[in-house]
Amino acid sequence: MIAERTLDGRHALVTGAGSGIGAAIVTRLALAGARVTLAGRREAPLRALSERLGPDTRVAAGFDVTDPAAVAAGVAAARDAFGPVSILVNNAGEAPSAPFEKTGGDLWAKVLSVDLTGVFNVTQAALPDIRAGGAGGRIVNVASTAGLVGYAYVTAYCAAKHGVVGLTRALALELARTGVTVNAVCPGFTDTPIIAEAVERLVAKTGRTREEALREFTRANPQGRLVSPEEVADAVFWLASPAASAITGQAVAVAGGEVMAG
């Protein structure tokens, strides 16, 4: 892992920071010298990670990305602690599955509210800080390969993540002359608690072994494996770093070759 402190003095706000990909991103940015606000709804995992990483991190619990008032309060508190936000990582999300015909309006609305409108809410709240900082401002949206291709049984998730990629591209063009970059990282199936739970559900439902169930999630990856959260975090770090100043409006697949840009 690269250890240069290329983000010294920068304030990064990461949503969905308590576990999995979010926790890996927080750790990677902190290692690079950023002061990091860990935002999420559940305080305990955020607090545990912050205590492990040290005083250059702070916790913004009760940060519900679907609630504009809670988001505004969380961003203001983060600014009071560490100064204006200059790096925003929109990572909060959820991915329930259901056949399209059993996807009710409530499920549809909930997934779009968290996975797409949540990105809109947090970005609107943090953008004045990011723009005021000028060139070097970074917005990185954690989307998914589901934002680039279709998958069965996750229509709401696919629709939301395609929306995140579209939002990323449009905002990148609006901000191109400011020096602020906007990009998306699109992980494939990643070794997180969500996938572990999905594997266990498949084992319980079908009677397959864990290895057989896991192959359902790895067979589309040409490398034949799950992506690690740290690999996703490294991609986010690169896009947040000064080295990526000419990269904007991109959707970077971190998926072992599962999805390739045409």
pLDDT tens profile 97-156: 899 999 999 999 999 999 999 999 999 999 999 999 888 999 999 999 999 999 999 999
Burial (CB count within 10 angstroms: exposed 0-12, middle 13-18, buried 19+), residue 166: middle
Q: pLDDT (tens digit, 9 = 90+) per residue, 167-200?
A: 999 999 999 999 999 999 999 999 888 888 888 8
Q: What is the tally of structural domains in the chain?
A: 2
Residue 198 pLDDT: 84
Same domain, 241 and 196: no
Confidence of residue 201 (pLDDT cuts 50, 70, 90): confident
Amino acid code (one letter) for 19 = S
User: What are the φ/ψ torsions at residue 20 (nearest 5 degrees)?
Assistant: 55, -135
Same-domain pairing of 33 and 132: yes
Enclosing domain of residue 63: 11-188+228-251
Tokens for 32, please give them. Answer: 């690079």
Domain check: are 134 and 205 in the same one? no
Active site residue 157: yes
What contacts 24+ positions apart, CB below 8 Å, involve 74-83?
74/39, 74/125, 75/13, 75/122, 75/125, 75/126, 75/129, 78/11, 78/13, 78/37, 78/39, 79/11, 79/129, 81/37, 82/11, 82/35, 82/37, 82/58, 83/11, 83/35
202 pLDDT above the threshold of 90: no
Provide the 8-state DSSP code for 190.
B
Q: Which of 11, 87, 142, 157 is catalytic?
A: 157
Mean per-residue pLDDT over the chain, rounded? 94
Same domain for 207 and 132: no
245 and 151, same structural domain? yes
Model pLDDT, residue 137: 97
Return phi, psi of residue 6, to 5°.
-80, -5
Q: Please, which pLDDT band fits residue 3 given cuts at 50, 70 and 90?
A: low
- The reply to whether 260 falls in a domain is no
Burial tier of 77 (Cβ tally within 10 Å: 0-12, 13-18, 19+): middle
